Amino acid sequence: MFDDTLKLILALGERSPADGMPKRLAELFHRLSAASTAVEASQIEDVIWDLWMSHDDPDAEDALQQATRAIAARELDEAEAILDGLVALQPDYAEAWNKRATLYFLQRRDPESVADIRRVLALEPRHFGAICGFGQICLRHRDRAAALFAFDAALRLNPHLGSIRAAVQELSDERDGPVQ
């Protein structure tokens, strides 16, 4: 279930985002990796997420907002209906796929979540959120090596993910075992 997604993550540096992704993201990712404070990094990350959430079609953007609110309210059937329609109408809207992957993760529908994560990464290879989600699915399936690989890749894109850095440290400590 994980091999195709691991291959996508492995090839991150070789792949470009889809044409529809905002060009401004390249500069923001550069600034994110160079950010010297947590506040600066957080502000840049917020702009990245805002750009991922945005869409040229205001109806699509509104639908994504509705689905996001429905997920937050645990109205998962409503969110799924909105997201299914949205990815059908806007198949190049990476964040719609990411939100549906999140929904599937919450429902423990991991094969479907991973399939949507692959679609996200095909459109936006720098999507550290989707990569972290994949890492969480790997952990749920006790594939610690794949989770560590995914989390390391996410940190290369966004080195300011504190909880992911902690997870990497914990997984590395488990892998290395006690010091003799």
Q: How far apart are CA 76 and CA 51, in angstroms?
A: 24
Q: Please determine, for residue 161, whether its predicted confidence score (pLDDT) is greater than 70.
A: yes
Structural domains counted in the chain: 1
Tokens standing for residue 168: 């990497």
Residue 16 lies in a domain: no
Q: What is the pTM of this model?
A: 0.93
Average pLDDT over residues 24-32: 97
Q: Return d(Cα 8, Cα 76) in angstroms, integer.
A: 28
> Is residue 131 a part of any domain in this protein?
yes
- The band of 172, judged by pLDDT with boundaries at 50, 70 and 90, is confident
Tokens at residue 36, please? 């010297």
Residue 18 within any structural domain of the chain: no
Residue 19 placed within a domain: no
Question: Confidence band (pLDDT; 50, 70, 90) for 176?
Answer: low
- For the domain that residue 109 is a member of, what is the CATH number? 1.25.40.10
Q: Which domain holds residue 161?
A: 3-11+24-176
| DSSP assignments along 141-156, one per residue | TT-HHHHHHHHHHHHH
- pLDDT, tens digit, 9 for 90 and up, residues 108-129: 999 999 999 999 999 999 999 9
pLDDT at position 179: 43
Q: What is the mean pLDDT of residues 37-65?
A: 97
Instruction: Tell me how far apart the alpha carbons of residues 155 and 177 are, in angstroms, rounded to a whole number.
Output: 23
Task: Please report whether residue 97 resides in a domain.
Answer: yes
pLDDT at 173: 83
In single-letter form, the type of residue at position 156 comes to R
Query: Could you tell me if residue 45 is inside a domain?
Result: yes
